[in-house]
A and B are shown apart, each in its own frame.
Chain A
Amino acid sequence: MQVNLKIWRQSGPDSPGAFHNYEVPNASPDMSFLELMDVLNEDLQTKGEEPIAFDHDCREGICGSCAMMINGRAHGPETGTTTCQLHMRKFADGAHITVEPWRAGAFPVIRDLCVDRSAFDRIIESGGYITAPTGTAPDANLILVPKEVADSAMDAAACIGCGACVAACPNSAAQLFTAAKLSHLNLLPQGQPERYKRTVSMVNEMERWFGSCTNHGECSAACPKEISLDFIAMMNRDYVKAQFKQRRFASQT
């Protein structure tokens, strides 16, 4: 199959960028989108042109590295899919595909399609951990967790930190990311000691960098892990609760 690509090229963080048109005449419908980029880059290198820089790592949908705005959607038109798991059979022969980097003030473009997502690391650093004794692993099932709660915590923990929520959000908000990272700890007994402190710290850090939520639902629709908006509601509740809570009595539910 043949595809026409319009890709954002930008040689450095401060350079002006522009769209460039490329044609891939010999794409296979079984290729992933990243493999299409590989084929294009090989072709560019053969011609002596600079290949297109893009982030990628595991290529099996679990690392969160690949980040591209494809035809105006984060990770392309498919739901619950990362760019590396998006296959060319989802596009028509002769399709025109526009590829742009994530756009957010906190995610500056480093080069071409690569953006700096370290603002997410700042959020995690501010509270995305629990206090646990190091040493031998504790016996299993010492702390009982209801099955439904464990499942919800796991659903939140599925976040791969790709930044699609920020990219898709009309406000560049990182609420879904922060809510997922908070919820997977705040739901479990092990996360309770720092629950309110963590919520306030991580939300404050998030609000330094990102926009605010207007409940469009774009984030959840773009999320390759289909993380629920309910986690955002939980974060909002915990944040406001933390403001009113007497922390000395925080163990009282």
Chain B
Amino acid sequence: MTKTHQEISTANQKEGADAAESLAHYTGAPVPPPARTDGPWLIVFWRSDIAKKWLMALSGLALIGFVIAHMIGNLKLFIGKADINEYAEWLRTLGHPVLPDQVVLWIMRVGLLAAVVVHISAAASLTITNRKARPVRYQSRRDYAAANFASRTMRWTGIIVLLFIIYHLLDLTWGVGNSSWRSGEVYDNIITSFQRWPVAIFYIIANMALAFHIFHGFSSMFASLGWSNPRLSVLRKNGAIGIAAIILIGNVSMPLLVVTGVYP
């Protein structure tokens, strides 16, 4: 039923009066508390979102370095049993004879753990900040112009990679869930683990997530660290694709070739 002119007009007058009332009481956006500047320097630094992104970029760079070194070491799987076992033993005795065995290994492990903790806590804190910054979401569909799949799924690829790291440590460092696991027998442990297809599929999916994560993370790092020199833009674009592709191919090749029976 259509409303008469008079009905619409009355309704509008009432609505107009309500709006005028609420506008009269409007005192601006809710004012957030000012940035706290008390406390030790590092804590004050950490409170800033830009500083968190800077630390996230640095820890991310360290983790990319680890992922590449880890991949190169593990690709010795394809050279032979003796080679990869020798590499694993070398890691344990790194720094010999200056330092006792495993000291360098543990320094690297602690460094990695610190990088992971910084990276994840910064991400979690920034995610909360960003959610709070838009309490009322868009009610219509957004049309993104620049954001890509990798940049929009960082949170999820990151979570997949974290879960994978936990499983990966359980599987190959502590030998949980693999009855044929034996300490020091790196080659046999990897092969017996990857021959189980659900495990191989999880490794493959996790490394695909890692490649997407690194693709956006690597190029994003340049902005977070403030490297905007145009000479770096080639490295930024090609480096992101190149490193993501190398890590994807290198890391996926191991479970893929083992589970399909191509290797050994």
Q: Using a CB–CB distance below 8 Å, which chain A residues touch chain B?
A: 6, 8, 11-15, 17, 19, 47-50, 69, 71-73, 77, 79, 98, 100, 103-108, 110-111, 116, 118-119, 168, 170-173, 203-205, 207-218, 220-222, 229-230, 232-240, 243
Contact = CB atoms under 8 A, between A and B. Distances in A.
B223 A229 contact: yes
A232 to B, nearest CB: 6
Contact of A208 (B33, B51, B141): B33
Nearest to A117: B29
Given A11-B18, A110-B23, A233 B140 contact: no
Given A111-B19, A240-B54, A118 B223 contact: no
B111 to A, nearest CB: 21
Given A103-B138, A116-B29, A15 B145 contact: no
Interface stretch (B42-50, B102-110, B182-190): B42-50
13 contacts: A11-B16, A13-B22, A69-B140, A100-B138, A118-B29, A171-B134, A208-B34, A212-B50, A212-B126, A212-B129, A213-B53, A218-B146, A238-B226
B142 A72 contact: yes
A130 to B, nearest CB: 22
A232 B45 CA distance: 18
B3 to A, nearest CB: 10
Contacts, number: 199
A103 B134 contact: yes
A73 B37 CA distance: 37
B139 interface: yes
B192 interface: no
Task: Using C-beta atoms within 8 Å of the partner chain, give the interface range for chain B.
Answer: 35 or more
A12 B48 contact: no
B21 interface: yes
A14 B219 contact: no
Contacts of B134: 103-105, 171-172, 211
Contacts of A173: 130, 133
A171 B57 CA distance: 18
Contact of B225 (A19, A203, A208, A236): A236
A149 to B, nearest CB: 14
Interface of B: 5, 8-9, 12, 15-16, 18-23, 26, 28-30, 32-35, 37, 41, 45, 48-54, 126, 129-130, 132-148, 151-152, 154, 216, 219-220, 222-228
Contact of B5 (A12, A47, A229): A47
Contacts of B34: 204, 208
Contact of A50 (B15, B21, B22, B225): B15
Contact of B226 (A71, A209, A236): A236
Given A15-B19, A207-B48, A208-B35, A215 B219 contact: yes
Contacts of A6: 140
A69 B29 contact: no
Contact of A233 (B133, B146, B228): B228
Given A215-B223, A237-B226, A243-B51, A105 B135 contact: yes
Given A15-B22, A170-B147, A215 B220 contact: yes
Nearest to B144: A218
Contacts of A232: 223
A156 to B, nearest CB: 12
The 10 closest A-B pairs by CB, nearest first: A237-B226, A12-B22, A211-B133, A72-B143, A233-B228, A217-B146, A172-B133, A212-B49, A171-B130, A216-B147
A164 to B, nearest CB: 11
B130 A239 contact: no
Nearest to B227: A233
A73 B143 contact: yes
A15 B50 CA distance: 35
